[in-house]
Structure formats: C-alpha cells, structure tokens
Amino acid sequence: MAEMMYWEAIRRAHDEEMARDPMVICLGEDIGVAGGTYKATKGLYEKYGPLRVIDTPISENGFTGLAIGASFIGVRPIVEIMSVNFAWLAMDQIFNTAAKVRYMSGGQLAAPIVIRSPGGTAHQLGAQHSARMEKVFMGVAGIRVVTPSNPRQAYGLLKSAVRCDDPVFINEHELMYNMKGEVPDQEYFHPLEGSEIARSGTDVTLFGYNISVHWCLKAAEILDKQYGISAEVVDLYALSPLDREGIRRSVAKTHRAVIAEEDEGPVGVGAEIMAIINEECFFDLDAPPVRVHSANVPQPYNHKLEQAAIPDHEDVVNAVLKLFGKS
Amino acid sequence: MKLEDKKRVLREMVLARRFEERCYQAYMERKIGGFLHLYPGQEACCIGVMEAARPGYDYVITGYRDHIHAIKCGADPKEVMAELYGKETGSSKGRGGSMHIFDVKHRFMGGYALVGGPFPLAAGLGKGIQMKGGDEIAICFLGDAANNQGTFHETMNMVALYKLPVLFVCENNHYGIGTAIDRSTAVVDQYKRVCGYGIESAQCDGQDVEVVYEHARRAVDYVRSRKGPYFLELITYRYRGHSMSDSRSYRSREEEEMWKKRDPIFILRDRLIEAGALTQEEFHKLEKEIDDYIENEVVRFAEESPEPDVRDLEKYVLADRETQLPWLTGKVA
Ligand SMILES: Cc1ncc(C[n+]2csc(CCOP(=O)(O)OP(=O)(O)O)c2C)c(N)n1
C-alpha cells in the first residue's frame, strides 16, 4: 500500500474513472489548463482534452446546471466547486433540480452528478471563504452527502460516487489536501453509506467527520494517556443518509457521546446526531450527549478570533471531561 | 409548409387550445390542484418551432407552461391530463403536476418551475449531444421574463464559448405574471440581448404558425449543422391570466381584444378556407371531434385512473437500492 496525499488520491480517482468511461467528464473553474486549485485534476486536461476536462466561466449556478443537464442523457460529470462558499450560488440547480428531478419526473430522469468542494476554515480566509455547508446538503432529500477524512476515503468515495446513479456531494476540506495516508494499490471503492470505527473504545463515543475525526483521534489519545478514559472514535464519512445503526451500536456500547464538527452549531450535523441518539439510545445513556462546534459567527479574519471561533481536539477533551464530571 | 402539414398543424393547435380550456374547467371543478399555467394564444410558438425540428428526437426542455410542449413532443394527452389530476398513470406518476410534466421516452426533458432554471440544463443537454456525436439538437422554450435571470447570461456565455447545439426559443408574451416587459426589462427586444455573446438571433411574429415555422427552420438548420447556438424570439400573447389566480387587472380589455384578432388558430384557418382547402363546417366538425376525444378519452382516463399508493411515498427519491448496492457498500465484485 502506497502513501499518497489527499489531493493525489482524488486525482487518481478522477483519472481511473475517466480512463474507464468516456462519458465521465470534469468541470469547474481553473481545473483544466491550470490543473485545479488543489491539484485534484492535475494533468487530466493534457490527457483527456478540453471536451472532457472543462474550464468553466465563473458561473457556479450555470455550470452546475450544465453538468446536471448533461447527466440527464448519459454524461457522468464531476463538478469541482472551488470553495463551498460558492456552492451557495449554485443552490438553485443543486437543490431545485439535481435533488428533485428523479422524484418530480416519477423516476424518468435522474441527475447522477458528483459535486466536490472544499469547505472549512483554513488560514484567515475570512467569512466568505470559510463556510461549511454539509448541514445544508444533508437537510435536503434526494442528494447523498459524503465527506472523506483521509486519502483512502477521498479516493474510494469519489470512485463510488461517480458510478452511483444519485447526485453525490463530496465535502472536502481546505486544510486536508496535503494530508498523507495509505491508499490501496489496487482499485478500491469506499461505501457511500455507513461509518467507520477509527479507534475502538469502551467509555465514550466521539463522533466526527472529515477534519473533526482528527481532533477526535487526538483527543482519544490524550484521554487515554492522561485520564485513563477509553474513547471510541466513529468516523461518519456518510452524512446523508446517516448511519443510524452505527451510531446506535457505538452509543449502546459506551453509553456516552460527544459530537464534534467544525460548522456552527445551530441546525447542524451535531444537532441531527443528538436527535438520533435521543430517538434510538435514550435508555443506553449514562449522561447527556455533548456537542462541540464553532461559535455562531461568520468566520473572523483576525487569527486569534478565528482560532477562538473554531473548535479543536482540546475542546473535545474538555467535553469528555465534562461528561465524566472531571472539569 | 405543405397543405397536408398545414391541416395537421391546425388540428394540433385546436387540440392544444381545447386541451387547455378543458384544464381550466377541471381546475374550477377542483379536479386539478396547485398552480396551473395555460397556453391559449401561444399555440403557434411551440407547434411552429417543433414542426421545424424533430419531435421525439431533439431534446426539449421548458418552464412551467409545459403541457403543450410535452404533447407536441409525443406525450399522450391522456397521460398529461392524468398528471394534472395527480394520478399514478400521469406522465410523472402524479409526483410532478402541471409544472413538472416529463416524458423522457419522447425526449421531453421536463417542465421546471423555477424561472430561468432550464437555461443551464439546456446547455447541459447540448453538452451531452456534443459528447455523443449525434445530430440531435436541444431546444429550450422559455418566457421573456426568464431572460432577466442570471442563468440566462451564464448560459448564453457558456453555449457560445463551447459552441453547444442549443436553440433557445423565447416566447415573448409581454408579461412576467403581472409586470409588463417594459417595466421589468431595459431592452425590450429580447433577440438583441444575446448579441453581446456573439449568438445568432432573430425575432418574428409568434401568431402566424407559418412564419414561426420558416424562422424556426433556419434556426434549427443552423444549430443542427453545428454552426453554434441560436436564439429565436417569438412575439406572442397569452389570453388567460398568468395562472389561475390571476385576474389580469394589469392589462386592458382593448389590448386583449386586439391580440385576439391575431389568433394563431384563426389566422391559419382563414388562410386554409381562402385557399379552398377547408370549409367552415369542416372546421366546426374538427373542433367537435377534438372536444369529444378530450372528453371521452383524455378526461375520462384521468378521472378513472388510480391515485398513487401512499406506501410509495418515498419511491423515486434516490436510485433503486438494489442496483446501487455495490457503491453503497463498497463491495464491488
Ligand atoms: C426563480 C423564480 N422566481 C419567481 C418565480 C415566480 N414566477 C413564476 S412565473 C413568473 C413570470 C415569468 O414570466 P415569463 O418568463 O415571461 O414566462 P411566461 O409566464 O410569460 O410564460 C414568475 C415571476 C418563479 N417561479 N421562479
């Protein structure tokens, strides 16, 4: 198994799927000649040409709609939206068309597109370049939401998403493109549903996805070494549909839950997981579940304010300590 | 247009008119719910353009005023009416309604309720055609007010840039709901608005189906021969309100009467009578025949069809689970 970076894993998935199926295309701003803002499409323009690797104008709603229309008649587009903040501009086409067309056509038409986009707080990018949108996507019927926390998932999820007949939103993270990890040498498909136990434990479950999985893993180590608390980390790489059964199973085992997300808390991923725990595991709980999330502010530019707004592994540790009455 | 084609087109326009008037009645009887946008007055637009194109072969997409476009592409009027009734036999299985008629087997790619929404989708159909290499074209019918959406400009730029085989047909009926075009749009001549994108365009009378046909033929040939996209503006008028809740208080009786003198059905009918190819009696007989067909077959089918089973509420949200299992589980053989 070779190590590769998150962006290399995504690039490899693009390349393999484009080589396999001539109807797979990719499009987005700067993805062709320039090779992609995050290099996820590097070299593909040279290999597959301008008809299949399409540099688009800065028209998010327009080119997303174009991809959807093409997908109606057999094209399998992978759309890169440069930053998830700009996906707001494409909401009409994503939610009003891609997510609904199968239903409102009575199953006659579908939009099997993949939308990849990085979200999250990077380095002082300010409010309009630091948003997360996964909670918005997962709140809408008709579109799948997945979010890779490592290169293996990034590779395998894109492979599965391209072949799936549903629209799939892949939430990546600004800070993760250079993260290294092992990716199987042979072709690998990561499931679009379910969750993974990233670390097994017995005393508390830490739920994370994408970057927050890494806070949870780090927190679990600290909890183990310094406090003798055994934390299980569940990686919810699929946000829609959520793995209710996986959530239930882990909480039934540990009896405690902390949910960590980088997004603002209200109406968030954590709120949804809390609701599931409440519905499915109420009598398994030894303590009320706790959420760790950003402050409810647009991301500030100032570095100190920015760091104060978003959570990290220490917040996860503190949340667990609170659960155990140790803070 | 050959004589026999003119007669067929007249018949299709009468069917379109009577179908829509029957929808009006069914709506008043509360058989049809939701928003209902009717087409009387504009028949020559869709029918004239599609005469020049290849219904059932070229891809067609439009907005919410979509019944007649679907039927002209080949959708069975019975299924369209059943859809308006919300029945399982409807063209979208009762899940779509008036604003979301789909008939993909006839390449009618749908009616969409968001003004301007179909523009980029049409570009995508053009992209798909371009990749597959056939000689189909994509045709996007939308109203004049849709041209003020950002999607119009985003799409015109992209179709020109990528040279996509898309024909845009602007049915300029002078109003976006209750707002007259000169109160919403800086440049009233819509065909001029695409010049900035280097797109060929023309404007013509949308009431005379033969005029529409001649212009559409040039436009369709242009797009089919892969010279680029094309924008055709048809000047027309809708007799009824925008939708059923519209009292038309924003326009004058005189204006409406003036347009009714240029009725697309009467223009063609009178021309055929003058040429000795049709008599007044034959025309009445045609109307009667169509009314009987609509009543005895179309409406009856809709009335007698079953509603969707509530147990199927969540069907069609996502793709069939069984066929998707390899991607959902990651277990690929
Ligand atoms: C995005 C959006 N905004 C507003 C509406 C409400 N609306 C429905 S039809 C319409 C007018 C559109 O007029 P036009 O495009 O000229 O088409 P016509 O109805 O005349 O055929 C409006 C404002 C809508 N459906 N979608």
Record: contact B328-A193, CB cut-off 8 A = yes
Chain A CB contacts of B110 under 8 Å are 101, 104-105, 109
pLDDT digits (tens, 9 = 90+) for A49-60: 999 999 999 999
Q: Do B154 and A163 touch (CB under 8 A)?
A: no
> What pLDDT, on a 0 to 100 scale, did the predictor assign at position A265?
87
Nearest CA to ligand 1 atom 12: B176
CB contact under 8 A, A144 and B121: no
Residue minimizing CA distance to atom 25 of ligand 1: B114
Is the ipTM value over 0.90, yes or no? yes
The beta-strand segments (E) located in B144-243 are 166-172, 175-176, 179-180, 200-205, 230-235
**Residue-level pLDDT at B333:** 82
CA B103 to chain centre: 12
The C-alpha atoms of residue A179 and residue A199 are separated, in whole angstroms, by 19
> Where residue A303 falls among pLDDT bands split at 50, 70, 90?
very high
Residue A318's pLDDT band, with cuts at 50, 70 and 90, is: very high
Over residues B258-264, mean pLDDT = 97
Q: How high does pLDDT run on average in chain B? A: 97
- Residue pLDDT, tens place only, B38-75: 999 999 999 999 999 999 999 999 999 999 999 999 99
Task: Tell me if residue A80 is catalytic.
Answer: no
Q: pTM of the entire structure?
A: 0.96
Residues in chain B: 333
Q: What is the DSSP letter of A259?
A: E
B324 CB neighbours in chain A (<8 A) are 164-166
Q: Cα(A289)–Cα(A38) distance, rounded to whole angstroms? A: 36
* CB count in 10 Å sphere of residue A7: 22
Which pLDDT score, from 0 to 100, does residue B247 have? 87
Angstrom distance (rounded) from CA B133 to CA A209: 42
A123 catalytic, yes or no?
A: no
- Residue A169 has which token pair? 């939103």
pLDDT above 90 covers a percentage of chain B that reads: 98
Q: Is the pLDDT assigned to residue A327 strictly greater than 80?
A: no
Q: CA nearest A268: which of A100, A123, A137?
A: A137
How do residues A56-91 score in pLDDT, each as one tens digit?
Answer: 999 999 999 999 999 999 999 999 999 999 999 999
pLDDT band at A270 (very low <50, low <70, confident <90, very high): very high
Across the range B130-148, mean pLDDT stands at 97
B41 lines ligand 1 (CB under 6 A): no
